[in-house]
Amino acid sequence: MEPTQLVVDLSRWQFAITVLYHFLFVPLTIGLAVLIAAIETVYVVTGREIFRDMAKFWGKLFLINFALGVATGLTMEFQFGTNWSFYSYFVGDVFGAPLAIEGLMAFFLESTFVGLMFFGWDRLSRGKHLFVTYMVALGSNLSALWILIANGFMQAPSGARLDPFTMRLQLSSFANLIFNPDAQTKFVHTTAASYVLAAVFVCAVSAWYLLRKRHVELARRSFRMAAIFGLFASLAVITLGDASGFKDVGVQPPKIAAMEAMWHTEKAPAGLNLIAFPSSREQKNLWSLSVPWIGGMMLTHAFDKPIPGVFELEAQARRRIYNGIPALLALERLQKTPGDNRALTTFRQHEKDIGYAFLLQRYAPNVAKATPAQVERAARKTIPSVPVVFWAFHLMVYFGFTMLAFFVLATMFSLMRSEYRRRWFLRLSLWLLVLPYLTVELGWITAEMGRQPWTVYGILPTWLSASTHSVAYMIFSLAGFIGLYTVFIVIEIYLMRRAIIEGPATAPGKDDNTQALPTFVLKGGSA
Amino acid sequence: MTTSELLRYAGWFALALLALAGAAILSYWAPWYFAWVVGTVMIILITAFAGALYERQAREQGAHGEDPLK
């Protein structure tokens, strides 16, 4: 029994929504833990109590976010089993290891040390508490590492081979799995993006205090450290974004073609579409603003390498579909007669394209009798939604550069010790808080929508991965997730807001300079 | 130099060698993981330096009789 297209779509929506909700919490946990470690390092080195207050205050916000992040993350692993049963069966041998390690090593490490970090301020020495804080930071980053190793496998399968007798992918090299270049770049890109988000968060909350002239000393120090932290993290994100693009040209060319709205293979070096309105139906850009040469140079790091366009990629997909058909037919024979050596040989000869035959099965259940029109339809499906991927990618990039510009100004103003007087900039810092959240979500939309129509790129199509639930079940569970996760978001905002309004727990007058401020400042300083 | 000091130095030396070997292996097999280790440590150190610099600037401004909040 096969899942209907509506069930597949609803399963995708459900996973996408839960992931996007979950990822509203995750990057702050990852980034804030590292920033708190830097703040506490200053406390241990200088002995200044205000840095202890800073670490404790931001640690409180970290804890609220961490707790809700865990709550929203648990359901996703269950969804693999409930909504993606064939996917779980197919890749379980590969996927299980990183997810188990994530749970056992990283998450337990993080959770154990979070308790010590929060309750150990008066029980541990400075050095020991700093060690605990670093362990929390390491644990939160390692959690991301194992998830992204699993995701890296889905984007660029490496270290596994399809067993034709069990119809499962089997792990052939654990080293290839964890050192997968896609997982590497994705991990560093994601963690650096999380640092950026945490930096904007700290800048925004600090700006809020500065605008209200509360906890000024704490806020100014936090603003300074977050600005520098964000500046270098932004540079890292952009560098790794470039590395990801460079790698994807060879690994996932359809994603690159969609990201750049490139329908035809241009003469190298290809141009860069700054703005475009692509139409998937007409397979062309209705309007575009392009810069010559830049796209090719950025993506290939060369002047003479072309970037394949959609039409060329569809032609390649057609060839791979025809090459995958004998593999699928051999697989069917092996299922009936496991000792059929001829079928095994045929399978091994064509197995690299078997995923394309699986894809064709959606349109031609008997692939041996597939018509050219059905092959054509499957080939067109190998290209992800160009408008969605193009805009998700471009908005992500534009927002990323906006944040880099923000951090340049924030660092400059803070080093000049003038950020406090630039109230317009403090207001901007506050309003900018929404931007990194949008950016990280757009990043995931680019990565996951760009991988379609595959769950495991080139091997397992999405349509084959889903469970065979009823539509009513999917709608009911989807509505339940949206309702529950919205409650989580409301709780997060409520708790965060309350903690921020309460502010850091400093003794009155000590490092909280509200009372100590000169009268001209209390009346509102101007630039 | 006492024996315990010598052993401590030897221990630190062994740790440094181990770190170098680890870095060499990691940078060969996993250049981006290596970049993350080095980059994150650098970002933390630079951020911590920025915090310490704030203290110095505030102290200098205070020494010159300026309002530290200006």
Q: DSSP assignment, residue A451?
A: T
Please give, rounded to a whole number of angstroms, the shortest distance from the CA of A327 to a CA of chain B.
33
Mean pLDDT of A67-86: 86
Q: Burial-class residue A523 by CB neighbours within 10 Å (0-12, 13-18, 19+).
A: exposed
Contact A420 B70 (CB under 8 A): yes
Q: Is A241 helix (H, G, I), strand (E, B) or coil?
A: helix
- pLDDT over 90 at A518, yes or no: no
Report how far residue A503's alpha carbon sits from residue A313's, in angstroms, rounded to the nearest whole number: 55
Radius of gyration in angstroms for the set of CA atoms belonging to chain A, rounded to a whole number: 26
Spell out which residues of chain A touch residue B40, defining contact as CB-CB under 8 Å. 34, 141, 191
What is the helix (H) or strand (E) element at residue A276, kind and residue range? strand A272-279
CA dihedral for B46, B48, B51, B53, sign (positive or negative): negative
Percent with pLDDT over 70 in chain A? 95
Q: Which of B43, B56, B57 to mutate to test the interface with A (most CBs of A within 10 A)?
A: B43
| Among candidates A42, A240, A243 on the partner chain, residue whose Cβ is nearest the Cβ of B51 | A42
pLDDT in tens, A328-372: 999 999 988 888 899 999 999 999 999 999 999 999 989 999 999
Report how far residue A235's alpha carbon sits from residue A239's, in angstroms, rounded to the nearest whole number: 6
- Flag whether B68 is in a domain: no
Question: Smallest Cα–Cα separation from A14: which of A3, A27, A26?
Answer: A3
Rounded to 5°, angle at Cα A12 from A9 and A16: 140
Domain count, chain B: 1
What is the helix (H) or strand (E) element at residue A339, kind and residue range? none
Report how far residue A120's alpha carbon sits from residue B14's, in angstroms, rounded to the nearest whole number: 32
Q: Domain ranges in chain A?
A: 5-252+385-521, 310-381
In the numeric block, which tokens belong to residue A425? Answer: 């900039």
Q: What is the mean pLDDT of chain A?
A: 90
Report how far residue B23's alpha carbon sits from residue B41's, in angstroms, rounded to the nearest whole number: 13
Mean pLDDT of B34-50: 94
Mean pLDDT of A186-201: 96
pLDDT attached to residue B67:
60
Considering only residues A131 and A509, tell me which one the structure prediction assigns the higher pLDDT: A131
Report how far residue A400's alpha carbon sits from residue A192's, in angstroms, rounded to the nearest whole number: 11
Report how far residue A306's alpha carbon sits from residue A297's, in angstroms, rounded to the nearest whole number: 10
pLDDT in tens, A141-162: 998 999 999 999 999 999 999 9
Report how far residue A335's alpha carbon sits from residue A399's, in angstroms, rounded to the nearest whole number: 51
**What are phi and psi for residue A506, nearest 5 degrees?**
-110, 150
- Which residue of chain A comes nearest to B28, CA vs CA? A179
Q: Is A170 helix (H, G, I), strand (E, B) or coil?
A: strand
- The residue behind tokens 């200044």 is A48
- pLDDT over 90 at A267, yes or no: no
3-state SS track over A31-43: HHHHHHHHHHHHH
Mean pLDDT of B27-36: 86
pLDDT attached to residue B69:
56
The residue segments making up the domain with residue B32 are: 3-63
Q: Burial-class residue A423 by CB neighbours within 10 Å (0-12, 13-18, 19+).
A: middle
Dihedral over alpha carbons A520, A423, A407, A205 (to 10 degrees): 90
Which string of DSSP letters, residue by residue, matches A145-167? Answer: HHHHHHHHHHHS--SEEEETTTT
The total of other beta-carbon atoms located within 10 Å of residue A153's CB is 26
For residue B14, give the amino acid letter.
Answer: A
Which string of DSSP letters, residue by residue, matches A341-367? Answer: HHHHHHHHHHGGGHHHHHHHHTT-SSG
41-70 of A, contacting B, C-beta below 8 A? 41-42, 45-46, 48, 51
pLDDT in tens, A3-29: 889 999 999 999 999 999 999 999 999
- Flag whether B69 is in a domain: no
Confidence of residue A376 (pLDDT cuts 50, 70, 90): very high
- pLDDT over 70 at B60, yes or no: yes
Q: What is the mean pLDDT of chain B?
A: 86
N residues, chain A: 527
Please give, rounded to a whole number of angstroms, the shortest distance from the CA of B17 to a CA of chain A.
22
- pLDDT over 90 at A431, yes or no: yes
In the numeric block, which tokens belong to residue A8? Answer: 């597949």
Q: Does A131 touch chain B (CB under 8 A)?
A: no
Q: DSSP assignment, residue A289?
A: E
- Flag whether B70 is in a domain: no
Contact A187 B55 (CB under 8 A): no
Asked whether the bond before A269 is cis by omega within 30 degrees of 0, the reply is yes
N residues, chain B: 70
Q: Give yes or no for a contact between B32 and A243, defined as CB atoms under 8 angstroms apart.
A: yes
Strands (E) across A96-159 are located at: none
Q: Which of B38, B67, B69, B70 to mutate to test the interface with A (most CBs of A within 10 A)?
A: B69
Q: Does A148 touch chain B (CB under 8 A)?
A: no
Spell out which residues of chain B touch residue A228, defining contact as CB-CB under 8 Å. 46-47, 50
